[in-house]
Amino acid sequence: MKGLDFRKKRKKPPQRPRRKPGSSRLKFEDKRQKLHFERRHIVINAKVVVIWAVEILILCMAAVFLVLAFGERVSVAGDSMNPVLKNGDIVLINRLAYGIKSPSRGDVVAFRPNGDEDAHYQIKRIVGLPGETVQITDGSVYIDGEQVTDHVYVTGIDYAGLAEEPLELGKDEYFVMGDNASASDDSRTPEIGNVSRDDIYGKVWFEAGFGDNFGFVSD
């Protein structure tokens, strides 16, 4: 029985039909939410900016004015005002005080002797006022012939100097002394003499050196 083939023929698996171009595919809905960023436009208000700038300028000017008017610093040289002020103390000067009123007896003032711009500020207390006659007799101060103790904190003066004889002050002149008379060069000496109103820099009102005398300076 030649030529007979009894082997089983394998059947080929059915082929899947090919998808035609453009045929539909499975689609899945994308439920993710997309982020949306809102674009904000910054609007600059020119009026607000100008007002803000003016306010800053005014504050700066006010600060400078206050420093120049009340915060001018001067160092004390010597112990002529001891114990109220001591050598090395730092004091603040009120430069506006005498634009409102005239210096008074008892005020502690800063001045340059004879208007010398190169000289260090002297700090003394006003004893005699314009038009008065000052004399120092037996260690006491006399104004227009009467002994004065109010607002005059110096006693036991050993040296009368120019005030040994009656000394008449001009209409804009002041007689000044240090509270510690024995260590003070003041209106009694020819080097200083009477102090002109124009030479007074301002009123000493505060000791700012954070030392023993820190605080307001007494009149």
Give residue 212's identity as a one-letter amino acid code.
D
- The alpha carbon of residue 114 and the mean position of all alpha carbons in its chain are separated, in whole angstroms, by 29
Q: Residue 133 forms beta bridges with which residues? A: 168
**Whether the Cβ atoms of residue 157 and residue 149 lie closer than 8 Å to each other:** no
Do residues 200 and 103 lie in contact, with contact meaning Cβ atoms separated by under 8 Å?
yes
Unique residue bearing structure tokens 């001591």: 86
Distance CA 90, CA 209 (A): 5
Q: List the catalytic residues.
A: 80, 124
Look up residue 99 and give its two tokens. Answer: 């634009």
Reading the block at residue 26, the tokens are 């499975």
3-class secondary-structure state, position 29: coil
Residue 166, preceding bond cis, omega within 30 degrees?
Answer: no
- The amino acid occupying position 15 is Q
